[in-house]
Structure 1
């Protein structure tokens, strides 16, 4: 996975294919004041305690900080922790977190799109150019892309976001999803 504007550079011995470009959403407690909105403005989360996993993905951190700057704020509090405790803490109202559009719902935690789609992620398949997977890469890409969009159709929040979506010029293209 990588992020438009913060792409993962590949060495020449590797090939890749984009499976999907997806928006980054936000996790909120069901009792959060913004929980009733279909989309949440990033600027409206400026004073929140942000919870993040212990991952070392500096590209995601850079993307997040740049999006916050564009929204007019610097996140004051970003707490890194074991990912297993993030959902219970959010459900209890102790913070918010970024998440991928296909994140499954959990009790007490809501997934909401960020208004204006300030952050994107690219799901990529990467393989050695001359390895045993190379002859099968494109059929595998097609199968994974189909599976991705099947999951997207099962996610009510993501499906609703896709259905009301009107892309604007210059933004990353969300690959057209097959209609059910």
Structure 2
């Protein structure tokens, strides 16, 4: 009989494309991955891996079994969901992630509500950028991930995920208090064409959105500083080192010396949560989505 954990290891190898990637996704050592695969090869009596330079690749038999493994693991997840739904209790463990400002702005209220209402549910949370959160949900390392996209740049999602909106997050521009435009009621992006921008890391979804948005307005942005977290960006603004976009979610309290001004374009980012479709019937998933929506509504009400 095929061992489920060894099939899980093969599935991780197929999805990540390397022993190190599979080990990271499964939170085990590379040695453990190799041992599991050796045992699985003995079980099936065929080679599943072949050397490929310094790495490995799946053989034809390995690819065939990996396709079956993905379907088997999906059925196992469905069985867990059905059993949890049949029991009707919000219990067990739930692994969730959110990008930093959502972890700051939504998780305290939402996870606090879950602990109070469902003491038998143990939630494990972590901060992850949206792309990392998607990967975690797809490969089963996470049950839920809070993500974002922008009004003019959707976040592409793979098949097999369910999505629920949490809030539309209004976004202003943050300026040093002594800036020539700090007293305005609203600003047009074109008025910031000569400014030095403080943004996210190269290649990050929000950085790419900002570059795309500014260039669509005919602005070639000058990037002076990069920081992953909004509050670090705001502290750099307070020091007079540039300007940044400042979504409402998770930004308060503003550092001293920073003012925010709405943009005439009504820039917003969409905050939402995703989970695997084969886990859709789990009461714990539904309870968590409800708590996150309630937290999002409170943020939205404060912005109105």
TM-score where L is the length of structure 2:
0.45
Instruction: Tell whether the 8 Å contact from 2:224 to 2:242 is kept in structure 1 after alignment.
Output: no
Corresponding position: 1:124 with 2:272: yes
* 1:1-36, Cα deviation, whole Å (9 max, x unpaired): 122443223222221111122233211111111111
Q: Calculate the aligned-residue CA RMSD, in Å.
A: 2.6
**SS of equivalent to 1:95:** coil
Instruction: Tell whether the 8 Å contact from 1:16 to 1:124 is kept in structure 2 after alignment.
Output: yes
Alpha-carbon distance in structure 1 between the residues aligned to 2:287 and 2:227: 38
Q: Higher relative CO (CA 8 A, sep ≥ 6), structure 1 or 2?
A: 1
Alpha-carbon distance in structure 1 between the residues aligned to 2:282 and 2:224: 40
Q: 1:71 to 1:94 in 2, by over 3 A?
A: same
Q: 1:121 to 1:139 in 2, by over 3 A?
A: same
Corresponding position: 1:113 with 2:262: yes
1:1-180 alignment to 2 at 5 Å? 1-54=148-201, 56-58=203-205, 60-81=206-227, 83=229, 85-102=232-249, 103-104=251-252, 105-117=254-266, 119-131=267-279, 134-154=282-302, 159=303, 162=304
Q: 1:124 to 1:80 in 2, by over 3 A?
A: same
Q: How many residues align?
A: 154
Alpha-carbon distance in structure 2 between the residues aligned to 1:13 and 1:26: 36
Instruction: Tell whether the 8 Å contact from 1:28 to 1:109 is kept in structure 2 after alignment.
Output: yes
* 1:106-139, Cα deviation, whole Å (9 max, x unpaired): 221122221122x331101111222377445455
Rg larger in 1 or in 2?
2
TM-score where L is the length of structure 1:
0.71
- Structure with the higher helix share, 1 or 2: 2
